[in-house]
Amino acid sequence: MANTSNPGLYELGVVVKAHGTNGGFLLEASSPEIPLKEEDVIYIRHPESQWVPYRINDIRLHNDRKRILFFVKLEGIQSRTEAESLREKRVMTDRLLEAPEQEVSIIGYQVCRDDHSLVGSVMDVIQTPANDILVVQTDEKDILIPQVDEYVKATDKELKQIIVKNISDLETL
């Protein structure tokens, strides 16, 4: 979520509409990963004023198929009319929001035994309900190695290398 022209504040989303009769509203978020909880503070700018802080009394994901919505209830907002006055207002936080980690592809990683001798390269990953299976291309054939602690000792993202163990039986299949 980008830092806006407001130093130290980061945008969470926009108030869509009031929800219920006790001052709750729906917030359309730019990400499903909002790291806020009850008692945290958010900021909303009212016309002719600075950013006003509000303490969160309740926040939870609201089901909607097309948008990322959260139900939010703030301290000091007690009626539907007060919540409606927030419609289309941007909601900010003073927390730096981190982007979700990107999943790293291990296709092409070298696969080595724990004595560092080369087995081959990861050509594919088969996803199964139990665990992923590495398809490792060797000089002679492809080996299927379950990506579990029994066989995978470590993954080094910097060296693009996977260290495996106990694979002698898998190599003979």
| Alpha carbon distance 68, 88 (integer Å) | 15
Half-sphere exposure of 157 (CA within 13 A, CB side): 4
**What is the value of pTM for the model shown?**
0.53
Give the span between the Cα atoms of 71 and 58, in whole angstroms: 8
Residue with tokens 């309900």: 129
Burial class (CB in 10 A: 0-12, 13-18, 19+), 160: middle
Parts of the chain with a pLDDT under 70: 1-7, 32, 35, 96-104
| Domains, the chain | 10-93 (2.40.30.60), 110-171 (2.30.30.240)
Beta-bridge partner residues of 120: 111
What pLDDT, in 10s, does the model give residues 151-160? 999 999 889 9
